[in-house]
Structure 1
Amino acid sequence: MTQSCDILISGGGIAGLTAAAAFGTAGFKVICVDPAPRITDGNAKGADLRSTAMLQPARALLARAGVWEALAPHAAALQVMRIIDAGGEVAEPRVTKEFDASDISDEPFGWNFPNWLLIRELVARLEALETVDFRPGVGTTRLFTRTGSAKVSLSEGGPVTARLVIAADGRGSPMRTAAGIGVHTKRYGQKAMVFAVTHPVPHDNVSTEIHRTGGPFTLVPLPDRDGMPCSAVVWMDDGRATMDRMALDAQAFEAAASDRSCHHFGPLTLVSDRQVWPIITQHADRLSAERVALIAEAAHVMPPIGAQGLNMSLTDIATLLDLAEARREGLGDAQMLEAYHKARHSDVRMRVQGIDLLNRASQAQAPLARDARAAGLNALYSAAPVRKILMQMGLGMR
């Protein structure tokens, strides 16, 4: 038996769940599916131990989705972005620059949350919405579109007819493939290791990114844990070196991580499991097809630098939501989806290319290249107008 809805969302990660909450809160009838169960306990096996910095524009969308009030008590504010170049022969800071949100705003740059907690609060929001039918453990299998609607087959249950299909189903998006949209992919030979640590020196709501050869080592503030300052860490490096570190016991790993952090916050103590993610850059040729819109990693993937990834995804959702609310009768039609593509495509391409350049610079091994990276950081920071423009662009304000 065929079911019908306004919007079928393929993918129940943070972006897909946020889209379901946002469109459901706006009164659209939504079905959201994902083949994997959602893990909402940070101590459970398989929990997503990464964290996400929600930048200023993201809060407005989370409020529209009815979830910000539940998230706010768990937020760790990001007031300052500190960048350290430690790319000399000795692992110690050569250039340290701080970008303070007070230079451009009365608010912090953003707020950091553990991913498993975001998932927990988003799932709770969907359970409270009569307009949303969330089906974990169910995936999409086939897509058939025509001018007036799309028909999507599911791995369990009958097919669904929808006016709009939102593909939020990851970098290997089945719906993107079914819609015939191609992608361009770059690989760096890097992996990102994510974990959480405590440390004796307070982070003071400063996100710290330390550059040496191989990729940045980033510590992002989290709420205190067991009375100690706590940070989420993303350690990007050569893939083989990363996997070698995964094999270290906790004590040896803590020593290696503390050395890589230049002991900036003192010795680091591991307080979570370690997880590894491949680093690629990828962007779709188009962000829409007949009755289909791509968001999040179905549309764009980039290295975790500057908190751009998920925040771009939330901008995708906000743009699509604005278009849908402006002309509900035209939900999912060619005019709406072409407007979505035009509104997002150039910004996505610019940010993907910018993060690609930053990541390649972070991998620099030759002394001259490392020196050029340090000099570039110093020059960008020293020009106040340029510094403010970069901060505004990072937040998506320009």
Structure 2
Amino acid sequence: MDFDCDILISGGGVAGLTAAATFGAAGFRVICVDPTPPVTERDAENSDLRTTAILQPARALLEQSGLWERYAPYAAPLQIMRIVDAGGEIAEPRVVREFNAADISDQPFGWNLPNWLLRRELVARLGDLDTVDFRPGTGTRSLFTREGEARVGLSDGTRLSARLVIACDGRGSPMRDAAGIDVHTRRYGQKALAFAVTHPIPHENVSTEIHRTGGPFTLVPLPDHEGRPSSAVVWMEEGPKAQDLLALDTGAFEAAMSERSCHLFGPLTLASRRTIWPIISQEAERLSGERLALMAEAAHVVPPIGAQGLNMSLADLRCLLDLARARPEGLGDRAMLEAYHRARHNDVRLRVQGIDLLNRASMVSAQPLRDLRAKGLDALYALAPVRKTLMQMGLGVR
């Protein structure tokens, strides 16, 4: 049977483009579509100002696909993860625990990069691959599958046949919906602000997560910006408060974020525009259907805690690639996709549930509960074996 491609990828975000580059570099014929062309400049309208921490286990996969050599010059290493409880009457640290990657590895935990830059380098890499046809501005509209093939209708009226469809098309995935796969969603009433800052005190490659109320305030190292130390910030708050913060003028916002950061890096200066998005957890009932694999946010969505989001997606991708290489003749068949679901489903469920618990703990506002959280943090993370286990679990190596 003749196919238009081996793999059709629905979705051209960071995960979808990475899947296209990875399978293309492995020799599979790939078509990747997305209705919205990627924004690849920092200050362009609608650019994604969030950052992504690429954890250790993902680096080998990115090296194989020719992506890491593009990322490396811009990557800020994450050597230490610092957890701060500032849940007292005033915004100041009262419990501080640090996790140093040197305790478990000779490499950093990971490397942080801006999402807009990841898209820029991904698009450039796809341009080098004859095996990949990237079609920005075109989306998926329909899905018809049978035992031997998938047929996908596109927004430009064309229909394509493929051996495997990979849905990387977000939390509202049209391919997942077309396959009739249900999702379970948890809503927290939270929103997250994302932006970049500069500060007078160097971050020294320390990622800092500060817990008070409403959700964590996280500063993740970036390369220097205009000669000053710089960090990416994700500030999670109750929805109405997040909207109020978004509406503040620059001076008032800088005062608010400096206080929320406990002044650990000195006064913070806004170095980008602010973006906002709702926080949910979401989990697909199954990670596969006939000739269809769900990946990334089509399969799972978690709050931005512990750098798990994209790294869960890259674990999905690594699993799919290993299965495809092991049996190229079985690409997209029932045996491959059942094996994919079995291999990933339990890990996804445990991580979604674990991050849900961490987020709920970070949201508490009543002072007795905040005090209890601080005591638990102090007791738990003070134990060296527990600290080491948590670091290994966070990297996905245990």
State whether TM-score is above 0.5. Answer: yes
- 2:83 is matched by which residue type in structure 1? I
CA-CA distance at 1:226 after TM superposition? 1.0
C-alpha distance in 1 between matches for 2:391 and 2:23: 30
User: For each residue in 1:230-283, what CA deviation from the matched residue of structure 2 results, as whole angstroms up to 9, or x when unmatched?
Assistant: 000000000000001111111110000000001110000001000001000000
C-alpha distance in 2 between matches for 1:312 and 1:255: 35
Number of the residue aligned with 2:222: 222
- 1:384 is matched by which residue type in structure 2? A
Confirm or deny: 8 A CA contact 1:17 1:123 kept in the other structure: yes
Confirm or deny: 8 A CA contact 1:3 1:159 kept in the other structure: no
Matches of residues 287-298 of structure 1 in structure 2 within 5 Å?
287-298=287-298
Number of the residue aligned with 1:370: 370
Number of the residue aligned with 1:99: 99
- 2:305 is matched by which residue type in structure 1? I
Please say which of residues 368-377 and 212-221 is displaced more in the overlay. Answer: 368-377
Confirm or deny: 8 A CA contact 2:39 2:46 kept in the other structure: yes
C-alpha distance in 1 between matches for 2:57 and 2:277: 26
Confirm or deny: 8 A CA contact 1:214 1:364 kept in the other structure: yes
Aligned partner of residue 133 in structure 2, secondary structure: strand
User: For each residue in 1:173-213, what CA deviation from the matched residue of structure 2 results, as whole angstroms up to 9, or x when unmatched?
Assistant: 00000011000000000000000000000000000000001
C-alpha distance in 2 between matches for 1:286 and 1:335: 15
Aligned partner of residue 73 in structure 2, secondary structure: helix
Matches of residues 1-398 of structure 1 in structure 2 within 5 Å?
4-398=4-398
CA-CA distance at 1:154 after TM superposition? 0.2
Aligned partner of residue 130 in structure 2, secondary structure: coil
CA-CA distance at 1:365 after TM superposition? 1.1
- 1:194 is matched by which residue type in structure 2? A
CA-CA distance at 1:43 after TM superposition? 1.4
C-alpha distance in 1 between matches for 2:3 and 2:285: 31
CA-CA distance at 1:291 after TM superposition? 0.3
C-alpha distance in 1 between matches for 2:396 and 2:344: 12
CA-CA distance at 1:157 after TM superposition? 4.6
Confirm or deny: 8 A CA contact 1:51 1:115 kept in the other structure: yes
- 1:47 is matched by which residue type in structure 2? S
Equivalences, count: 397
Aligned partner of residue 98 in structure 1, secondary structure: strand
C-alpha distance in 1 between matches for 2:7 and 2:380: 44
User: For each residue in 1:53-92, what CA deviation from the matched residue of structure 2 results, as whole angstroms up to 9, or x when unmatched?
Assistant: 1000111111121110011000100000000000011110
C-alpha distance in 2 between matches for 1:94 and 1:207: 18
Aligned-residue CA RMSD (Å): 0.8
C-alpha distance in 2 between matches for 1:211 and 1:240: 19
C-alpha distance in 2 between matches for 1:283 and 1:210: 27
- 2:156 is matched by which residue type in structure 1? E
Structure 1 runs of 4+ aligned residues shifted over 3 Å read none
C-alpha distance in 2 between matches for 1:354 and 1:372: 18
- 2:246 is matched by which residue type in structure 1? M
- In the superposition, the TM-score normalised over structure 2's length comes to 0.99
Confirm or deny: 8 A CA contact 2:91 2:260 kept in the other structure: yes
Query: Which runs of no fewer than 5 residues in structure 1 stay unpaired?
Result: none
C-alpha distance in 2 between matches for 1:3 and 1:347: 33
CA-CA distance at 1:377 after TM superposition? 1.1
- 1:196 is matched by which residue type in structure 2? A
- In the superposition, the TM-score normalised over structure 1's length comes to 0.99
User: For each residue in 1:147-169, what CA deviation from the matched residue of structure 2 results, as whole angstroms up to 9, or x when unmatched?
Assistant: 00100000015211000000000
Aligned partner of residue 184 in structure 2, secondary structure: strand
Aligned partner of residue 221 in structure 1, secondary structure: strand
C-alpha distance in 2 between matches for 1:37 and 1:13: 9
Aligned partner of residue 244 in structure 2, secondary structure: helix
Confirm or deny: 8 A CA contact 1:3 1:158 kept in the other structure: no
C-alpha distance in 2 between matches for 1:59 and 1:372: 38
Confirm or deny: 8 A CA contact 2:192 2:277 kept in the other structure: yes
C-alpha distance in 2 between matches for 1:396 and 1:369: 30
C-alpha distance in 2 between matches for 1:386 and 1:83: 15
C-alpha distance in 1 between matches for 2:44 and 2:187: 31
C-alpha distance in 1 between matches for 2:346 and 2:3: 36
Aligned partner of residue 216 in structure 2, secondary structure: strand
CA-CA distance at 1:3 after TM superposition? 6.4
- 2:252 is matched by which residue type in structure 1? A
- 2:48 is matched by which residue type in structure 1? D
Aligned partner of residue 272 in structure 1, secondary structure: coil
Confirm or deny: 8 A CA contact 1:41 1:47 kept in the other structure: yes
User: For each residue in 1:319-339, what CA deviation from the matched residue of structure 2 results, as whole angstroms up to 9, or x when unmatched?
Assistant: 000000110000000000000
C-alpha distance in 2 between matches for 1:168 and 1:64: 20
Query: Which runs of no fewer than 5 residues in structure 2 stay unpaired?
Result: none
C-alpha distance in 2 between matches for 1:260 and 1:383: 28
CA-CA distance at 1:305 after TM superposition? 0.2
